[in-house]
Structure 1
Amino acid sequence: MKSVKRHLAVLLGATAMLAACGGGGEQIDPFKPTRILSFGDETSTLRSDGSKYTINGTDATTNVVSCAVNQIWVQQLAAHFGLVFGECNPDKLATPTGRMYAAAGAKVADVTAQIDRQFALDGFNSKDMVTILAGANDVLELYAQFPAQDAGTLGNAAQARGEALAAQVNRIVNADGRILLSTVQDMGLSPFAIKEKASHADTDRAALLSELSRRFNAGMRLKIRNDGHYIGLLLTDELMGTMSRYPGAYGASNSADGACLTSSLPPVCTDKTLVANATSASHMWASDTLVAPVVHTYVANQAISRATNNPF
């Protein structure tokens, strides 16, 4: 019996080693990107002065705003691979390894233009780590058309925009880029949605915003090239759904309100301009529609996991 157990242990160990090597004895080399290219909206934006569309952090010693504190998700992802954006380059590297295309207010059509710019510059390659997160501004724009446009029509439009973003993702796949693609945030969980629900009796406005977010993500996910060698999918909508229900599990205490004072909203909001009892870590939302650092950190964790475990 002991010999059988020993044989089984050896067999299981060999199987585990084979799986770790990708099968057939072929070792999968870890992904080591040489640059990061960020596309999308304000959730992924670093401004030229290093400020961000979340709660900007201050240096503990000087109390001066520091771009290296409360890093957004693409910064944390870049740092994991030793990459840096020029917009936040405290060590003054002569040649930053990150390019920031993401811009405040960007919708899918704007992301298309961002990607066009990179194609015109020097394109994409297998050592590029590309990040894409967009759709929140599309969802909000479509929602603003309700009730002049009915929910079904708006849902179809949201899905079409998700499909349009998928087409851009596939362009990069065809150019041999490696992509970390995020689903859009569930905007029905935002403080904006909660306020809209409270002030309108015609329908559940928060549920409508969630549905538009869902349709956008459905369109995107259905049309992207389903190949983990090129695309690592980040389920930000599902993450935020869980965080909204159980904020304490993520070290937060408030999933319904914005942390920043209305007189000091992102990108000028800092950890010194917050509502009473709020901190950079306590709230899920920085403002009515912009996420706080705690969300950025968990999205970054998911991105790092995808980038290191996907067979890029």
Structure 2
Amino acid sequence: MKSVKRHLAVLLGATALLAACGGGGEQIDPFRPTRALAFGDESSVIRSDGTKYTINGVDSTTSAVTCGLNPVWTQQLAGHFGLVFGECNPDKLATPTARMYAAAGAKVADVAAQIDRQFALDGFNPKDLVTILAGANDVLELYAQFPAQDAATLGNAAQARGEALGAQVNRIVDANGRIILSTVQDLGLSPFAIKEKAAHADTDRVALLSELSRRFNAGMRLKIRNDGHYIGLILTDELMGTMSRYPTLYGATNSTEGACLATSLPPVCTDKTLVANATSGTHMWASDLLVSPVMHTNMANQAINRASNNPF
């Protein structure tokens, strides 16, 4: 009997130790990143002067652009963990804790070069909060080849580019980084797509842009090695689909038009240069292809949820 009790005590002690060490794959210790690294295109960018490719917020007294207002999704995610980009550093931290590699116009090939720069500098580690959103400029580049290239050929090319982005994500996985990865926006929902459909009778341009976006995302999602321990996936395309159909559920009223005046498009668009009755919260889109602060906030909420709850 004493022998049985001793064995039971050892077993219970081992079980307790396993639980304390995170046995069973649960996230025992919350993820607390020590820096953020943003890769991708203009949807993630804070420029050196603090402006962004959305509706910039302005000081109510001076009307000067204030970078902390109307933050983009990467900025909100980093801020949730107390991390600060040098491009918006009002407290003048000597060493900002977030790096901005994302750049306007970037395509998948450019993201590969952005990641190369970080590898050359000091690589990645398990306390890095990495964000990646790219593909919109690839989809638009392919779309511009229609109808010289048929839809099926362009769809295959879009999927190949999504796979190429997935391969870049896997490079960071192999380097032990922690990644919040966004699907590319559904560009078929954009004001640009609506205008293209109205201007062309050859095919449904809305459907074509949505299909190219879908194929890009399919390629990316098939390529990444995603078990939740390294990659937290946010489904921006699906979020946009729901918000487009039911904008009032997100506090918005318009999901088909850009809020910025045609004479003041991002990155110079501000709360003071909007179409009649528009605010940074009423419209899903800032311009024909760039999303508004209300969309950025909803993306950020998804990203924060993934970063906080995935077993990183």
Q: Distance in 2 between matches of 1:58 and 1:40?
A: 25
Aligned partner letter, 2:62: T
Deviation, 1:77, is 0.4
Q: Which residue of 2 aligns with 1:227?
A: 227
**Cα pair distance change 1:179/1:50, threshold 3 Å:** same
Aligned partner letter, 1:310: N
Q: Distance in 2 between matches of 1:130 and 1:62?
A: 35
CA contact (8 A) 2:188 2:209 kept: yes
**Equivalent residue of 2:270, what SS?**
coil
Q: Which residue of 1 aligns with 2:111?
A: 111
**Equivalent residue of 2:226, what SS?**
coil
Q: Distance in 1 between matches of 2:20 and 2:303?
A: 21
**Equivalent residue of 1:216, what SS?**
helix
Q: Distance in 1 between matches of 2:106 and 2:159?
A: 17
Q: Which residue of 2 aligns with 1:302?
A: 302
CA contact (8 A) 2:125 2:177 kept: yes
Q: Distance in 2 between matches of 1:204 and 1:20?
A: 56
Aligned partner letter, 2:291: V
Correspondences of 1:266-305 after superposition (within 5 Å)? 266-305=266-305
**Equivalent residue of 1:43, what SS?**
helix
Deviation, 1:23, is 5.9
Q: Distance in 1 between matches of 2:162 and 2:27?
A: 36
**Equivalent residue of 1:157, what SS?**
helix
Q: Which residue of 2 aligns with 1:218?
A: 218
Q: Distance in 1 between matches of 2:68 and 2:62?
A: 13
Correspondences of 1:42-81 after superposition (within 5 Å)? 42-81=42-81
Deviation, 1:62, is 2.6
Q: Which residue of 2 aligns with 1:12?
A: none
CA contact (8 A) 2:26 2:311 kept: no
Q: Distance in 1 between matches of 2:156 and 2:63?
A: 48
Q: Which residue of 2 aligns with 1:236?
A: 236
When the two chains are superposed, the root-mean-square deviation of aligned CA atoms in Å is: 1.7
Deviation, 1:277, is 0.7
Q: Distance in 1 between matches of 2:293 and 2:26?
A: 40
Q: Which residue of 2 aligns with 1:195?
A: 195
Q: Which residue of 1 aligns with 2:249?
A: 249
Q: Distance in 1 between matches of 2:38 and 2:109?
A: 16
Q: TM-score, normalized by length of structure 1?
A: 0.92
Aligned partner letter, 1:260: C
CA contact (8 A) 2:187 2:209 kept: yes
Q: Which residue of 2 aligns with 1:125?
A: 125
**Cα pair distance change 1:164/1:246, threshold 3 Å:** same
**Cα pair distance change 1:27/1:106, threshold 3 Å:** closer
Deviation, 1:226, is 1.8
**Equivalent residue of 1:131, what SS?**
strand
CA contact (8 A) 2:57 2:270 kept: yes
Q: Distance in 2 between matches of 1:231 and 1:126?
A: 12
Q: Which moved more, 1:283-292 or 1:27-36?
A: 27-36
**Cα pair distance change 1:203/1:118, threshold 3 Å:** same
Instruction: Name structure 1 gaps, 5 residues minimum.
Output: 1-17
Q: Distance in 2 between matches of 1:148 and 1:27?
A: 51
**Equivalent residue of 2:194, what SS?**
helix
Aligned partner letter, 2:269: C
**Cα pair distance change 1:261/1:229, threshold 3 Å:** same
CA contact (8 A) 2:27 2:310 kept: no
Q: Which residue of 2 aligns with 1:13?
A: none
Matched-pair identity in %? 84
**Cα pair distance change 1:28/1:192, threshold 3 Å:** same
**Cα pair distance change 1:231/1:20, threshold 3 Å:** farther
Deviation, 1:60, is 2.4
Deviation, 1:227, is 1.8
